[in-house]
């Protein structure tokens, strides 16, 4: 049984099951990368600017991330109006780091095909030679 | 004007506009990575196995990739029944390599926050200290 299971994993070696859809979506990857590089958190306006998102889009993606417990959101007073403060949670960091490991695997897998000077990187396909 | 444009790009530095949705979708990233590492192409059954996809899912994603001219599909006879043969196109290689550059940027951006021994990687958040 173990042998079959290992064979099945090896057969699907480009499946990348670890590319969690909650994190992989471009805008949410953008939000999480902004937040993991700012461990003290960011206010809504800063996050919006760093990710190049509209208010509506950022709100929608923050809701998904909060429901998945990857980001925590708190409201507080900052100056004259309430400020929304966003932080990545411990679970968010853990899941983001796991996700990053899979991204690194994609790059490693593609590396031999696309490294400088290789047929793929130079646009030459040996199959056409 | 140039200054403002540069400022705007710098402000949205985690936007990752280059994460093309056609390529970024997990199953299609899986298909393209399989194909870029097999420059002679793969038959449908091999690709299905490498990506861990069902017939229906693989067909659907191949259609999107073919419409975007990233993959070429040809039918031919192989043994007793027709075989579908899939190859990444020159445009597909070019776009995949550009996409890969953005993935590498995500990893670089996150690296200082998640490298071994850093607060984020070890699960310790200085903001909670």
- Å from A63 to nearest chain B CA? 18
B20 pLDDT more than 70: yes
Q: Is the pLDDT of residue B66 over 90?
A: yes
- Residue B29: per-residue pLDDT: 98
Q: Give mean pLDDT, residues B113-119.
A: 65
Cβ neighbours of B17 in A, within 8 Å: 52
Which residue, among B15, B87, B122, would best test binding to A if mutated, counting the most A CBs under 10 Å from its CB?
B15
Give the integer Cα–Cα distance in Å for A77 and B43.
Answer: 60
The minimum CA-CA distance between A54 and chain B, rounded to whole Å, is 12
Rg (CA), chain B: 20
In Å, what is the CA distance from B110 to each residue of A27, A56, A119, B21, B78? Answer: 15, 25, 30, 21, 47
Per-residue confidence (pLDDT) for residue A114, from 0 to 100:
81
Does the ipTM exceed 0.85? no
**% of chain B surpassing 90 pLDDT:** 68
User: Which residues in chain A are closer than 8 Å to B110, comparing Cβ atoms?
Assistant: 33, 36-37, 96, 100
> pTM for this one?
0.82
CA atoms within 13 A on the CB side of A100: 25
Distance of residue B94 Cα from the nearest chain A Cα, in angstroms? 7
A88 beta partners:
A71
Interface test mutation site (partner A, options B30, B47, B71, max chain A beta carbons within 10 A): B30
A120, B106 contact by CB (below 8 A)? no
Instruction: Please report the pLDDT score of residue A125 as a whole number.
Output: 44
pLDDT over 70 at A129, yes or no: no
- pLDDT at residue B122 above 50? no
């Amino acid at each position: 049984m173990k042998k079959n299971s290992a064979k099945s994993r090896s057969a699907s070696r480009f499946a990348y099951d670890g590319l969690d859809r909650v994190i992989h979506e471009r805008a949410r990857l953008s939000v999480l990368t902004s937040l993991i590089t700012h461990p003290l958190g960011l206010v809504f306006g800063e996050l919006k600017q760093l990710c190049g998102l509209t208010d509506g889009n950022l709100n929608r993606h923050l809701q998904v991330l909060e429901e998945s417990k990857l980001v925590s959101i708190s409201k507080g007073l900052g100056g004259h109006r309430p400020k929304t403060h966003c932080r990545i949670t411990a679970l968010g960091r853990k899941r983001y780091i796991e996700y990053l490991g899979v991204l690194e695997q994609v790059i490693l897998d593609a590396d031999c095909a696309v490294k400088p000077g290789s047929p793929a990187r130079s646009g030459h396909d040996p199959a056409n030679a």
